[in-house]
Structure 1
Amino acid sequence: MSTVPLAEIDIQPGHHKIVWKLGAITLHGDTIIATVIAGAIILALGFWMRRRLSVRQPGGVQLFFETVSKQVEDQVESSMGIRTAPWVVPLAMALFLFILFANWLSLIPTKEYIPPPASDPNTTYALAILVILTMHVMGVKKNGLKYYAHIFEKPRALIPLRIVEEIVKPVTLALRLFGNIFAGTIMIAIIVALPTTVLWIPEILWKLFDAFIGLIQAFIFALLTVLYLSSLNPHASHPEEQPGTPGDAESRVSTTKEAAH
């Protein structure tokens, strides 16, 4: 039996086995390679599915894409109305698929030369900033500066807390994804330290669990993206306040009855 002393296990965030230098700029080669691979897999599956689209006999890849698309559309419809923001569906779906396949790269035994991109905080921060910037840009474009009116609502004493909340949104969104995926790399390193005679048993079990965690984290990130972007439609959660909705009609009927009595 051969084991690796736990004291010799040294895993640090930001440590990369492949590093490229471009003048004064340092590029994380392993993260870039893994990101390209994940994107290439999604594009390949998408083009492959497009060539084999079938209404009567859909294949497994087509059913997978349709299932993901249906779940995202249902979430967007319930949160903000798919007709008011049709662009949210492809954005959330693209984020879900990328994070999912990027996380599943950890299932490939590559001696950490192709780690899951989400184990690099730079990747998760980039994804979070993309979502939050999209939220602010589209919010101002749709509602003007009134989009920030919720920050200055009463009670005024909570204004500093609301400002802090807006600032930390991308931080929490990024660290949630990074923490869970990075924890998986630590667990793999600990499992490798076990005796080789029993190594394959816990490694297989953890790989399966890690695949499940990767799926859950991709779903949570996409869900939070939809929830954050739902702030673009401030009346989405109160349909009774929107003119012309069933809730509004029922309110008018109720008011008329009370006036009659």
Structure 2
Amino acid sequence: MNLYSTYFSETQDSYNPLDLVVNLGAFIFTLIVTLIITIIVVWYIYRQVKKFDPEKPATGIVLFTQNYVNGFNNLFDSITGNRLRKAYPYFFTLFNFILVANLLSLINLLPAATSLAFTFTLGIITFIGIYVVGVCTNGLIHFIRHKYANPIEILGQFSPLLSISIRLFGATIAGYVIEEIVVIMVGGLTDNNERAMLFTELGISPGIWVWEIIDSGLTIIQAFVFAVLTCLYWSLDHGPSWNKDERKKHFKAEKELKKQLRQEKKRAKSSG
């Protein structure tokens, strides 16, 4: 049975501390494998790009990489209005890291997103980034006025942290619940649950094939949603500029505009 099956095992009548150690070890091993795969892929792409002749049309891995990166950059541009270009590498890396860490379930490793520590760590980074971007582009005073204008909404400020973390965790866990159901169904059809488990481990169960394809698609979507939501949250609290002088000019002009509008309303009331 897969390592994550300890979450759903019906045979565990009492808590066993060893299970926590096993799951923690499996989680750490998944992260190590993810890092190794990422380093190997990046190194290989770097070698190919380095050998690429700019005067010739791009082909193979170089063409795929160009389209892949440019596609994400265009997407982030449409979300941020070209205001967070320095953060694009982080959004891109975030998507690919989550993708690889969860797709390792295809080779029977424990996906990283089955751990709340993993999803909440990424969620906290997203949450802190909202305040970093907000303060650096609005200034501390203007950001606080904007963010906490309504005291009732203070608790709502933590909703991005909870929603983005629990969404990824819940979607991943749900996938494994469904896979366990598929295994049980196959066992019922064969009248031999042990045989079904063996078929699952060897990857020769048609039901598991179908579900692995579906689960891979859902994993891609969840990684994509997490990266896009991070980009969106940061963009929503992005202020006028990262430059202090430009921010002052913007808020001064905004103040003058509001003053003019108030004066026009007063004149309209007096004339009426």
Please report how far the alpha carbon of residue 16 of structure 1 lies from its aligned counterpart in structure 2 after TM superposition: 8.2
In structure 1, what is the Cα distance between the partners aligned to 2:165 and 2:154?
18
Match of residue 214, structure 1, among 203, 209, 219: 219
Give the equivalent residue in structure 2 for 1:128. Answer: 123
Q: What is the identity, as a one-letter code, of the residue corresponding to 2:145? A: A
Deviating more after overlay: 185-194 vs 219-228: 185-194
Q: Percentage identity across aligned positions? A: 27
Larger radius of gyration: 2
Listed as ranges, the gaps of 5+ residues in structure 1 are 1-5, 21-26, 237-241, 243-261
Give the equivalent residue in structure 1 for 2:166. Answer: 175
- The alpha-carbon distance between structure 1 residues 7 and 39, as it changes in their structure 2 partners (threshold 3 A), is closer
Give the equivalent residue in structure 1 for 2:265. Answer: none
Please report how far the alpha carbon of residue 58 of structure 1 lies from its aligned counterpart in structure 2 after TM superposition: 3.0
In structure 1, what is the Cα distance between the partners aligned to 2:159 and 2:224?
21
Give the equivalent residue in structure 1 for 2:37. Answer: 41
The 5 Å alignment of 1:145-224 reads 145=140, 146-153=142-149, 156=150, 159-160=151-152, 162-193=153-184, 194-195=186-187, 197=190, 200-224=205-229
Per-residue CA deviation, residues 106-140 of structure 1 (Å, 9 max, x unaligned), is 111x3xxx210011111000001011112212321
Q: What is the identity, as a one-letter code, of the residue corresponding to 1:49? A: I
Corresponding position: 1:102 with 2:98: no
Contact 1:9 1:189 in 2 (8 A): no
Listed as ranges, the gaps of 5+ residues in structure 2 are 1-7, 191-195, 200-204, 242-249, 251-272
In structure 2, what is the Cα distance between the partners aligned to 1:172 and 1:192?
30
Give the equivalent residue in structure 2 for 1:58. Answer: 59
How many correspondences in the alignment?
Answer: 212
Give the equivalent residue in structure 1 for 2:72. Answer: 72
Contact 1:18 1:30 in 2 (8 A): no
Please report how far the alpha carbon of residue 206 of structure 1 lies from its aligned counterpart in structure 2 after TM superposition: 0.2
Q: What is the identity, as a one-letter code, of the residue corresponding to 1:77? A: D
In structure 1, what is the Cα distance between the partners aligned to 2:155 and 2:120?
17
Contact 1:16 1:30 in 2 (8 A): no
